[in-house]
Amino acid sequence: GFSKQMVEILNKHGVSFSSFDIFSDEEVRQGLKTFSNWPTYPQLYVAGELIGGLDIIKELEASGELDTICPKAQKLEDRLKSLINKAPVMLFMKGNKQMAKCGFSKQILEIMNNTGVDYETFDILEDEEVRQGLKTFSNWPTYPQLYVKGELVGGLDIVKELKENGELLPVLKGEN
């Protein structure tokens, strides 16, 4: 019951946390009581320091201090903005620069590699949250997706069209 309450409070405040089941390791269970000089569970630690048990967490929540002590989980939108702006030219694709994992990604890699412009890639197959979230965020339903200076250029069809019109290089260099 106490652990459940602690988890509910942390979730309610958007705290980024992980947990350890003390029933899974009796040595850790007993050792932590001695180590922390705290006889009961749950115990909340932030950056390796014991904050306290449920009673302390409830007091911190009531005083508003809990939000300043605990690290927040990064919101998906903030994470996507950060990834999109990781490099001036960012390609979200199936696979990476070394190995495309679908035909469309392979085609866009060939085009990108022939421009001589530096770019970074993100493998959407490695992160389902980004894969689904970026479709909504960019209002673009398919991959690959190419971004320049944080702005969506488009997918393979758009990139092919820009290449044929001689506009791809200026776009990639942020001249348009």
- Among 69, 101, 124, where does a domain finish? 69
Beta partners for residue 121, in sequence order: 91
pLDDT of 63 above 90: yes
Structural domain total, the chain: 2
pLDDT value of residue 73? 67
| Domain identity same for 169 and 92 | yes
| Domain identity same for 36 and 100 | no
- Among 69, 86, 103, where does a domain finish? 69
pLDDT value of residue 76? 84
The whole-angstrom separation of Cα 94 and Cα 91 is: 10
Residue 90 lies in domain: 76-173
pLDDT of 176 above 90: no
* % of residues, the chain, pLDDT over 90: 81
Burial 62-97 (b: 16+ CB within 10 A, else e): eeeebeeebeeeeeeeebbeebbeebbbbbbbbbbe
Taking only the tens place, the pLDDT of each residue in 15-54 is 888 899 999 999 999 999 999 999 999 999 988 899 999 9
| Domain identity same for 25 and 89 | no
| Domain identity same for 85 and 64 | no
pLDDT value of residue 17? 86
- Among 69, 101, 126, where does a domain finish? 69
